[in-house]
Amino acid sequence: MEANTKSRRHYPEAVYDTRSLGFPQAVSGRGGRLVVTAGLVGWDKQFNLENDFGSQLHQAMENLAEVMADAGVADGDILHVRIYVVGLTQDHRIIVGQELDRQYPDRDLRPGTSLIGISALARDDLLVEVEGTAICG
């Protein structure tokens, strides 16, 4: 386990090392309560939505952080983040990487992350949705 967390990042020697890519191969947790979020989108508290991908992603990640904090999740105890992007492009990948660097500046505590390109979300104006899994308590 990492210092002061209920989670551990895994970089097995038998598999390619993803530290330089900014994420672990796996994150495990123990001794706590599992927290799984709903899909979070780029709405602010009043359901306002920006039209651009970067703004929606930033707000969705902020929403994820707020939901995790409300559930009692400490920094470093988010095990996995799944990001769904409508019409995923290389530009989206760059923006996602920058947002992950901003949200999780300590790469040693970064959650496992999946980036998934999709054709649509529940509403036409939504460009990105994030989900998180954590362990706390």
- Residue 1 resides in a domain: no
User: Where are any strands of DSSP class E within the chain?
Assistant: 7-10, 26-29, 33-36, 78-86, 112-118, 128-136
Q: Which domain holds residue 37?
A: 7-136
Query: What would the pLDDT profile of 38-93 be if each residue is shown by its tens digit?
Result: 899 999 989 999 999 999 999 999 999 999 898 888 878 999 999 999 999 999 99
**Number of domains the chain is built from:** 1
Query: Is the full-model pTM beyond 0.75?
Result: yes
The set of residues, in sequence order, having a beta carbon less than 8 Å from that of 118 and lying 6+ positions away, is 84, 85, 86, 88
CATH of the domain at 70: 3.30.1330.40
- Residue 2 resides in a domain: no
Query: What would the pLDDT profile of 117-128 be if each residue is shown by its tens digit?
Result: 999 999 999 999
CA distance linking residue 119 with residue 16, whole number of Å: 30
Could you tell me the two tokens for 41? 């989108």
- Residue 128 resides in a domain: yes
